[in-house]
Structure 1
Amino acid sequence: MITYEDRRLRALADDGRWPELLAAYRRARAGAAARAGELLGAAEVAPLGHLIAYAAPPELAVRLFDRDGGPGTAAGAGDHDSGPLWEVLATRHSWLRLAPLLGPAPVRRLVAHTRVLIGEDLSRGAEPDPEGVPMRLEPWEATGWGEGARVRDYLPAGGARSALLTLPASREGLGPVALPEPGLRLRGQRATQALAVLADWAEVACVRGSAPQAAAQLARGSLVTGGYLPFALAVPALVQAGAVDRARGGAHGRLALWRALGAMAGADGPDRAEVNALVARMRCFTWCEPAAGLRHLHVALEDPASGLAWAVSGSEDL
């Protein structure tokens, strides 16, 4: 039900009275946080934050994240409605507009990587990433996506449109495969932990062996519909796996994928040269499961240089 207060705030937005809306947001957030706690308080006022992040001039919208209003008034990196408030902001303005205005380092970093996902080359226009993740898309990151699918498409009054990226997306190009005996499962691998963080709703296994031997550790049967595909076609589903929660955005997925690939390559971090070399030699296998949920991910990634392969498999209904 639309309340009087909702109509009043909408009228202020229609009149462009953004300073009053920001003041209302800050009062409401501080009051809600004091009454219900930080997380619940942030959720209570998130729709108003979405409105400001989406439609206000950038000079004002960035002030959602400033702490000059006092305790409990500033949005943080975890504040979200249909998606993180920083991602809403990042979809509305270029890095050129936002860079001189953004203050808090965590939000600034996530906004920058969102702009990179959208397609901006920030390799010369932004500070280097603290972990070394490139500030522009590598070719293998850019080729597998549909038009406008990399970041949620936010709506003015709240809500968002998002492409449902799954792997495999269909049975096209796949065929009957008899999986071999499962490879020897290895425990405690750093890359296994990184992949588990990337897709926290899926199971991850590492084996000494090939991609099909890794798939055999998690597949529900030994005869599957599957096949090899270029790693670039798996990237969208892997990035989205790290951004399925409304509190996380596409930048979270991209950063998590780079961490996982860096660990698979044996690097100390997401080193660009090491990751690109891994991607160039990687073998990527995907397979279908008979009872896959609406969102699903079934993929095995093999590094011939190390003799290791990782399988990631899971599904959920939305």
Structure 2
Amino acid sequence: MITYEDRRLRTLADQERWTELLGLYRRARAAGGVTEAAPAGHLLAYGAPPELAARLFDPDGGPGTAADEADHDAGPLWEVLATRHSWRRLAPLLGPPPVRRLVLHTRALLGEDLRHGAEPDEEGVPLELAPWEIAGWDERSRVREYLRTGGARRALLALPAGREGLGPVELPEPGEPVRGLAATRLLAACAPWLQVVCVRGSGPDAAAQLAPGGRVTGGYLPFGQAYPGLVQAASDTPAVGSAQGRIALWRVLAAMTGERTVDLREVTALVARLRCFTWSEPTDELRYLHLAVEDPATGLAWAMSGCTPEPSYV
């Protein structure tokens, strides 16, 4: 339902009265917080000139008036802004380091060349997509498609996407659980609706911990093909953007190599040897993920499985 306030905000945006709209945003945020200010913030981030839109994150309006990385409507306000302007335009305008970092990584996801004029990432996450990231990830689906007046579109989260290439598989006995690993904890933190387990054994050994029954429709796929679904699962609420999902997955990969920060050569070698097993379940409907990732070098495998309701922004 479109309220009077919604119409008022859209009228200001249509008339490009951005300074007035920014004032309304700041007053709403100071008085009520993120939710009340969000519609005005989306309109500003999407439509205002970058010099004014970037002021959403500027504290010059007073206490409680500035957006941060948690402010969102159909998606994070910083992500909306990053889809609208290049890093070259935004870099001189953005002050808060967390927002700068996420905008920078969003521009990388959108294919901008950031080899010059961009600060290095604090955790070593590369600002250029790796070949295995690009191989299975359509550029048009890496970041939500935002709409001018509010809302967003996003590719459907489904892994496996269908049963093509899969076949009947008899799962072995469940592998022996391995507890206390950082990679398991980080994977579980990516999406609260996912069950995550680590075992000593193969991908099917791990899958047997979570898949119902001993027989599934499943098969293997390259990690690059599974990776987009993992990033999407890690950024599956309007408060979280694709850049945060990608950073979270690189943290997981770094932890699988035994490191706290990203060593690009170690992660590249890990991805090259990973074996991924995916399966479907009878209860799958629209939004689900079933995947086991096996590292033959360590003898460890992680399985994750779950489904989530359709989010409000789709």
TM range (shorter): over 0.9
Q: CA RMSD in A?
A: 1.3
Which residues of 2 match residues 85-96 of structure 1 at below 5 A? 85-96=77-88
Check the 8 A contact 1:284/1:302 in 2, yes or no.
yes
Unaligned runs of 5+ in 1: 33-40
Check the 8 A contact 1:265/1:274 in 2, yes or no.
yes
Check the 8 A contact 1:151/1:162 in 2, yes or no.
yes
SS in 2 for 1:301: strand
Select which of 181, 185, 191 maps to 1:199.
Answer: 191
Aligned twin of 1:67 = 59
Deviations 1:57-76 (A, max 9, x none): 00000000110110111111
1:25 matched to 2:17: no
Q: How many residues align?
A: 310
Amino acid paired to 1:80 = H
Amino acid paired to 1:311 = A
Call closer, same or farther: CA 1:220–1:87 in 2, change over 3 Å: same
Using the TM superposition, give the Cα deviation of residue 147 of structure 1 relative to its aligned residue in structure 2, in angstroms: 4.8
Amino acid paired to 2:232 = Q
Which residues of 2 match residues 211-226 of structure 1 at below 5 A? 211-226=203-218
1:144 matched to 2:136: yes
1:176 matched to 2:168: yes
What is the distance in 2 between the residues matched to 1:3 and 1:278?
52
Deviations 1:267-300 (A, max 9, x none): 2222211111100111111011111242111111
Aligned twin of 1:36 = none
Check the 8 A contact 1:199/1:238 in 2, yes or no.
no
What is the distance in 2 between the residues matched to 1:14 and 1:186?
57
Check the 8 A contact 2:72/2:238 in 1, yes or no.
yes
What is the distance in 1 between the residues matched to 2:83 and 2:97?
18
Normalised by the size of structure 2, how large is the TM-score? 0.95
Using the TM superposition, give the Cα deviation of residue 145 of structure 1 relative to its aligned residue in structure 2, in angstroms: 2.1
Normalised by the size of structure 1, how large is the TM-score? 0.94
Range with bigger deviation, 121-130 or 258-267: 121-130
Amino acid paired to 2:56 = L
SS in 2 for 1:306: coil
Call closer, same or farther: CA 1:28–1:316 in 2, change over 3 Å: closer
Call closer, same or farther: CA 1:187–1:5 in 2, change over 3 Å: closer
Check the 8 A contact 1:86/1:110 in 2, yes or no.
yes
Aligned twin of 2:16 = 16
Amino acid paired to 2:45 = A
Which residues of 2 match residues 1-318 of structure 1 at below 5 A? 1-32=1-32, 41-318=33-310
SS in 2 for 1:312: strand
What is the distance in 2 between the residues matched to 1:3 and 1:246?
21
Check the 8 A contact 1:165/1:236 in 2, yes or no.
no
What is the distance in 2 between the residues matched to 1:7 and 1:315?
36
Check the 8 A contact 1:47/1:158 in 2, yes or no.
yes
What is the distance in 1 between the residues matched to 2:255 and 2:136?
22
SS in 2 for 1:43: helix
SS in 1 for 2:199: strand
Amino acid paired to 2:25 = Y
What is the distance in 1 between the residues matched to 2:67 and 2:214?
49
Using the TM superposition, give the Cα deviation of residue 177 of structure 1 relative to its aligned residue in structure 2, in angstroms: 0.6
SS in 1 for 2:99: helix
Call closer, same or farther: CA 1:3–1:202 in 2, change over 3 Å: closer
Unaligned runs of 5+ in 2: none
SS in 2 for 1:92: coil
Call closer, same or farther: CA 1:174–1:23 in 2, change over 3 Å: same
Call closer, same or farther: CA 1:8–1:180 in 2, change over 3 Å: closer
What is the distance in 2 between the residues matched to 1:308 and 1:96?
43
Using the TM superposition, give the Cα deviation of residue 7 of structure 1 relative to its aligned residue in structure 2, in angstroms: 3.6
SS in 1 for 2:59: coil
Range with bigger deviation, 282-291 or 120-129: 120-129
Deviations 1:141-185 (A, max 9, x none): 112123510000000000001111311000000101111111111
What is the distance in 2 between the residues matched to 1:185 and 1:293?
29
What is the distance in 2 between the residues matched to 1:165 and 1:111?
23
